[in-house]
């Protein structure tokens, strides 16, 4: 199980705990004064305080996960020149795709964009014969 999967499971568990507390424990009580009311939870209510701490933890973990995604170092972009060098080195398209962590379809798309393979289009003769 990788770290990303563990993070997601942890956040899911927190979400389930919040829902369970809301369903089983959170109801109108003596702590629900209008001046102390923050959102749906009360400052002075022990249940509300527990919900607020779980909510803060969930927010913190979500923010940490976003920061991890955004700080991931970018791999160098595959250029036409690099691709041609790899082909001279006898690498297959799949090996190039694996090296750059992209799909074989992305390689084909890039090759079309670079003019290395042509996009098939029916000729006028084919269109007329189909009519």
pLDDT digits (tens, 9 = 90+) for 55-87: 899 899 888 877 776 665 555 789 999 999 999
Task: Over range 98-127, report the average pLDDT.
Answer: 83
In a shared domain, residues 60 and 7: yes
Same domain, 89 and 65: no
How many percent of the chain have pLDDT more than 70?
Answer: 71
Q: Which domain holds residue 26?
A: 3-70
Does 8 map to a domain?
yes
- pTM of the predicted protein model: 0.44
Residue 96 corresponds to which tokens in the numbers above?
A: 């190039």
Question: Which residue, 41, 70, 99, sits at the end of a domain?
Answer: 70
Are residues 18 and 66 both part of a single domain?
yes
Residue 55 sits in the same domain as residue 87: no
Residues 6 or more apart whose CB falls under 8 angstroms from that of 11 comprise: 58, 61, 62, 65
Q: Where are the alpha helices (DSSP H) in the chain?
A: 3-24, 46-70, 80-88, 93-100, 104-113, 124-130
């Amino acid at each position: 199980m990788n770290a990303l999967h563990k993070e997601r499971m942890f956040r899911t568990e927190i979400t389930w705990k919040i829902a369970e507390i809301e369903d089983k424990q959170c109801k109108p009580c003596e702590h629900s004064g209008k001046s102390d009311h923050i959102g749906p939870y009360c400052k002075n209510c022990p249940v509300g305080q527990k919900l607020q701490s779980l909510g803060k933890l969930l927010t913190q973990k979500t923010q940490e996960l976003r920061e991890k995604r955004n700080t991931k170092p970018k791999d160098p972009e595959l250029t036409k020149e690099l691709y041609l060098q790899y082909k001279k080195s006898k690498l297959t398209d799949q090996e190039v795709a694996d090296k750059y962590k992209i799909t074989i379809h992305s390689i084909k798309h890039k090759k079309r964009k670079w003019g290395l393979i042509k996009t098939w289009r029916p000729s006028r003769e084919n269109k007329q014969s189909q009519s």
